[in-house]
């Protein structure tokens, strides 16, 4: 029986990488395309439990509530995709109202969405590697906005620990199924 740290459940997370802002589509997406992009991007983090990360209704509600920008016409761009990836990850551990407040904190900085999103991606990947296999955290590259940096890392750790627990529980269920067979 393989250990969790050597299992496909861990290897999948260790290989995970979020697309950077420049890698997100550089053209306007319809809502179904946006949802497919977010679902495909985040699928490895929660496995194949059939749980949806996002629906059209959620996207509409987030836009109406001001969590994400409203679409231009019925089309969504890179900023929408970046915000939705962040929202989908953090809503696993933080209330939507609190996520909205975190986004306002980011918007109050001098950093554009692209920079903030890429920073979050880098931090989350470093934190996932740390939580899943004990890799050292990458040094903090932020020299300003220390409070915002702590907020990003705190959100990243909360998300990573939720993913770790979910993956470990999936591993245990798989082990139980294997034992029964």
pTM for the model stands at 0.91
Whether 118 has a pLDDT exceeding 80, the answer reads yes
Q: Is 176 helix (H, G, I), strand (E, B) or coil?
A: helix
Whether 142 has a pLDDT exceeding 60, the answer reads no
φ and ψ of 29, to 5 deg: -110, 145
Q: How far is CA 51 from CA 27, 72, 88, in A?
A: 28, 28, 12
In this prediction, residue 181 carries a pLDDT of: 75
Report the distance separating Cα 19 and Cα 75, nearest Å: 20
**pLDDT one-digit tens code per residue, 43-78:** 888 755 667 889 999 999 999 999 999 999 999 999
Q: Which DSSP category does 76 fall into?
A: B
Beta bridge partners of 29: 76
Please give the angle made by the CA atoms of 2, 13 and 9, to the nearest 5 degrees.
30
């Amino acid at each position: 029986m393989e250990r969790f740290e050597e299992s496909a459940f861990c290897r999948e997370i260790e290989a995970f990488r979020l697309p950077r802002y420049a890698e997100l589509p550089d053209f306007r997406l319809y809502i179904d395309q946006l949802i497919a992009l977010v679902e495909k991007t985040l699928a490895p983090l929660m496995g194949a439990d059939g749980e949806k990360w996002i629906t059209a209704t959620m996207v509409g509600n987030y836009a109406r509530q001001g969590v994400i920008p409203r679409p231009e016409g019925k089309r969504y761009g890179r900023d929408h995709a970046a915000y939705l990836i962040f929202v989908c990850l953090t809503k696993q551990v933080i209330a939507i109202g609190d996520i909205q407040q975190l986004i306002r904190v980011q918007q109050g900085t001098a950093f554009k969405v692209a920079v903030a999103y890429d920073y979050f991606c880098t931090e989350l990947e470093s934190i996932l590697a740390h939580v899943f296999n004990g890799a050292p955290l990458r040094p903090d590259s932020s020299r300003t906005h220390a409070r915002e940096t702590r907020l990003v890392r705190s959100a990243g750790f909360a998300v990573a620990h939720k993913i770790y627990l979910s993956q470990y529980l999936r591993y245990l269920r798989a082990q139980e199924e294997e034992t029964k067979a």
